[in-house]
Chain A
Amino acid sequence: MQMSVESRQFGAPAAGDEPILALSGITKTFPGVKALSDVSLDLYPGQVTALIGENGAGKSTIVKTLTGIYQPDAGEIRVSGEPVHFATAQDAAAAGITAIHQETVLFDELTVAENIFIGHAPRSRFGLIDWARMRQQARDILTRIDADLEPDMLLRDLGIASKHLVAIARALSAEARVVVMDEPTAALSHKEIEELYDLVERLKSEGRAILFISHKFDEIFRIADRYTVFRDGTHVGSGLMSEVNEADLVRMMVGRDVDQIFPQRQKSPGDEVLQVVGYSHPTEFADIGFTLRRGEILGFYGLVGAGRSEVMQSLVGITRPSKGVVKIDGTIKVIRSPADAVSNGIVYVPEDRGKQGAVIGLPIYQNVTLPSLSQTSRNGFLRLAEEFDLARHYTQRLDLRAAALDQDVGNLSGGNQQKVVIAKWLATKPKVIILDEPTKGIDIGSKAAVHAFMAELAAEGLSVIMVSSEIPEIMGMSDRVIVMREGLIAAELEGDALTPETLVRHAAGIGEKQP
């Protein structure tokens, strides 16, 4: 927490300022769910306000309300003291409110300059786009934020960090008075995060109000001046960051003290369940070999792109390996499709929940029973009562929060969707469950619940493979860790050899001799 002390020196909030943007008494209801109930949020010029809350607390809903995407059922929005009504996203943009989303909403096939100025490009006398001026202004803004980008580059050629810079440049070009940043650092490297912090400081010094949504406490304490905490769609508290500590915020978020320590586990792995030998893919990975025992949690650590997810997807038959052998309970199995994997007791909870995990559009119970339909049907004919029973059993075990089992999964929060996906796989009664980044982008409370649940599963004899990029999670949960680098196994670590330093060293390929 040394950093937070430093940051407060130049980010001191000037007391008594009027908020630029003030939301009060906001209520928003969706069918069956009260997303927001009488919440308020104030944003001050030249200050960063952190919005904190668990998944499903209503953070995304309030962002969509203040950017004009949702219209509140009740409540008031004031900009510089004047009551306003945002009927559309354009209204909010015209009032100087810009949001930079988790997955930036930009256009891949357009250039950097076009992305920055889309919707408000400089015009020539004849009403056409003044391309020369647009490029020049884009270049100015990019220089201002030290972005090493050319206005004519196509967006699809840029990395995720550069895309964030374009999104920020866009916010600056629109003369945004309020900038919303929704988990801006989730996909960034350490160095890129530092650059983002510099940018935030610059936006502050220009007098803009910033709403910063993050699950990472270190960055909240480093960068925010104020906080607002939501819980279950209600406003729990707000104030100055200098007056709270991490434990206070966590207590407000979850309404109780969260035990941040990972669950204690009896480590007594049983027989070998899964054995992988010489597993290779033409381009993604080569010569992968490991074993997994009953009741064991095996961690897979590595940098993004090390080939971990590719190995797992190949194990469950989504992609074909070029060579290699998979043995389950000692017998060689050929897994050609996810259906084969399910019948052999291996299941995969993918990282991309929206695209690969949940079938948005289908109700909860149909999502849960999708791979287990043979259990709940007779001769290929559905039995709804059995489906509801199976779905209820597993979703309630995971403490799913939903209005009804026939509700569309798309109406659930991210954390609850993840619960549905995990329930879906547990219902197949697997021997091996592979969890790919199971707690990515979910809040502390849900994280602890997922960790406890994993420990419980392992204790019941299920073998778990956990792909994770978070060192505390890997250290806290795994019995053993395999580190991958550039498609190869770089190390297998266990016991005393398993330290954060060894993990990072092997993942990055730094030699043993260097400290």
Chain B
Amino acid sequence: MSDLSTDPSVRQIPDRLQSRSARLLQSWELLLLIVAIAIFIANSFASPYFLNAWNLSDATFNFTEKAMIAFAMALLIVSGEIDLSVASIIALASTAMGAAATAGFGTPALVLVGLVTGLLCGAFNGTLVTRLGLPSIVVTIGTMSLFRGISYIVLGDGAYRSYPADFTYFGQGYVFWVISFEFVLFVLFALVYYVLLHRTNFGRAIFAIGNNPTAAQFSGIRVGRVKFTLFLLTGLMSGVAAICLTSRLGSTRPSIGFGWELEVVTMVVLGGISILGGSGSIPGVVIAAFVMGLVTFGLGLLNVPGIVMSIFIGCMLIGVIALPRLWKMWRS
């Protein structure tokens, strides 16, 4: 600690209380990174098949699509809102692409359809929240049923399967050796969202709104416009995830991506984004994505059934959230 605070004769206020490296050492992100490495090491001992480039590459598909949505969701949650309809946007966007593919449209048109559907869904959520002032958790629980409901009406028990051959690249293509197209997209979006949240005026506005929307508005920030943009981005990223997932599966059923909204929110919260808004970081979400992917993959290699896996992920989420608080209580 500096002595400057107790000495009123010193007028020069320093920039930082602690150096950036000291702050990094106490950060949530570092703790999470240690957890990720520990899981990696544990996995490599638990299964002989783990340390294999192709297996590891396969493992990334467990989180890349969800993580793309999680980046946009992180920004939305920092601003104090949430979007629980993301998995249903995937279903609707995938259904729209399936219908377009069946009608004979080519891959570029399908991508456009997926992205535009995502944007429209995001705009719908954003309009209800920012124009009518409705709470986002209620609005998006509603649209969660609405969007997927449309898919069920269109598809019923059926499925769209007639995707063009070159459409498979998004979910199954490799850019270089074991590096998949999806993984490259994940890295690119991680960088874009990192810059957006931590290096731009827009990102600063998101933090200000999440901490105190009234003071942010009084300070000349267009709170409604920022929030609307964030809903648009979340919708768009759900559209991107829909393209990747549909391409990877090669078919669309109305149950596509079912329950993903909770995994996306889990990833965001695990990444250290405060569910109350106002704090958190994109690197945290990136590491959380790896942690979740490694855990699911490791347990999969050990033939742990899916239901046990979700129990494990649930316990891990509660654990990492509760541990720091328990630590504080124990110390005092």
Chain A positions within 8 Å of B, measured between CB atoms, are: 31-34, 232, 316, 318, 337-339, 341-342, 348, 350, 355-362, 365-366, 370-371, 373-374, 377, 380-382, 388, 392, 395-396, 399-407, 424
* Interface bin, chain B: 35 or more
A402 touches B279 (CB 8 A): no
Contacts of A381 in B (CB 8 A): 195, 199-201
Contacts of B216 in A (CB 8 A): 359, 370
CA distance A399 to B11 in the complex (A): 8
Q: Which stretch, B2-10, B98-106, B295-303, B317-325, touches the partner chain A?
A: B2-10
Q: Which stretch, B82-90, B159-167, B203-211, touches the partner chain A?
A: B203-211
Q: List 9 A-B contacts (CB under 8 A).
A: A316-B218, A338-B218, A338-B220, A356-B214, A361-B211, A362-B207, A370-B216, A370-B220, A406-B15
Interface residues of B in 266-288 (CB under 8 A from A): 278-279
Residue of B nearest to A34 (CB): B6
A404 touches B211 (CB 8 A): no
Given known contacts A361-B212, A407-B17, is B218 in contact with A342 (CB within 8 Å)?
A: no
A318 touches B200 (CB 8 A): no
CA distance A374 to B203 in the complex (A): 13
Contacts of A33 in B (CB 8 A): 5
Interface residues of B in 218-235 (CB under 8 A from A): 218-222
Given A337-B222, A356-B215, A404-B16, 18 new contacts (CB under 8 A)? A339-B221, A359-B215, A361-B210, A361-B212, A361-B278, A370-B204, A370-B216, A371-B219, A374-B201, A377-B200, A381-B199, A382-B199, A382-B200, A396-B11, A401-B5, A402-B13, A403-B2, A404-B14
CA distance A374 to B220 in the complex (A): 12
Contacts of B153 in A (CB 8 A): none
Contacts of B13 in A (CB 8 A): 392, 395-396, 400, 402-405
Residue of A nearest to B208 (CB): A359
A406 touches B204 (CB 8 A): no
A339 touches B211 (CB 8 A): no
The 6 closest A-B CB pairs, nearest first, are A361-B211, A403-B5, A404-B17, A339-B220, A342-B220, A373-B201
Residue of B nearest to A392 (CB): B13
Given known contacts A370-B221, A404-B14, is B215 in contact with A355 (CB within 8 Å)?
A: yes
CA distance A154 to B74 in the complex (A): 41
Given known contacts A339-B220, A371-B219, A377-B201, is B211 in contact with A405 (CB within 8 Å)?
A: no
A338 touches B212 (CB 8 A): no
Is B258 at the interface (CB under 8 A from chain A)?
no
A380 touches B201 (CB 8 A): yes
Contacts of A370 in B (CB 8 A): 204, 208, 216, 219-221
Residue of B nearest to A407 (CB): B17
Contacts of B208 in A (CB 8 A): 359, 362, 366, 370
CA distance A380 to B203 in the complex (A): 10
CA distance A366 to B1 in the complex (A): 21
Which one of A32, A232, A380, A388 contacts B17 once the chains associate, using CB atoms below 8 Å? A32
CA distance A396 to B10 in the complex (A): 11
Residue of A nearest to B203 (CB): A382
A31 touches B2 (CB 8 A): no
Contacts of A371 in B (CB 8 A): 219-220
Contacts of B52 in A (CB 8 A): none
Contacts of A396 in B (CB 8 A): 11-13
Residue of B nearest to A382 (CB): B199
Residue of B nearest to A421 (CB): B215
CA distance A424 to B215 in the complex (A): 12
Nearest-neighbour CB distance to chain A for B18, whole angstroms, equals: 8
CA distance A31 to B216 in the complex (A): 26
A403 touches B17 (CB 8 A): yes
A32 touches B217 (CB 8 A): no
CA distance A397 to B200 in the complex (A): 27
CA distance A494 to B98 in the complex (A): 76
Which one of A318, A362, A401, A407 contacts B217 once the chains associate, using CB atoms below 8 Å? A318
Residue of A nearest to B11 (CB): A396
Interface residues of B in 10-30 (CB under 8 A from A): 11-17
Residue of A nearest to B209 (CB): A359
Contacts of B2 in A (CB 8 A): 32, 403-404
CA distance A331 to B13 in the complex (A): 41
Nearest-neighbour CB distance to chain B for A388, whole angstroms, equals: 5
Contacts of A402 in B (CB 8 A): 5, 13
Residue of A nearest to B207 (CB): A362
A373 touches B204 (CB 8 A): yes
Contacts of B312 in A (CB 8 A): none
Residue of A nearest to B210 (CB): A361
Residue of B nearest to A350 (CB): B218
Which one of A360, A388, A404, A405 contacts B212 once the chains associate, using CB atoms below 8 Å? A360
Nearest-neighbour CB distance to chain A for B62, whole angstroms, equals: 33
A359 touches B212 (CB 8 A): yes
CA distance A353 to B148 in the complex (A): 45
B17 touches A406 (CB 8 A): yes
Residue of A nearest to B217 (CB): A338
Is B54 at the interface (CB under 8 A from chain A)?
no
CA distance A391 to B92 in the complex (A): 47
Residue of B nearest to A361 (CB): B211
CA distance A403 to B2 in the complex (A): 7
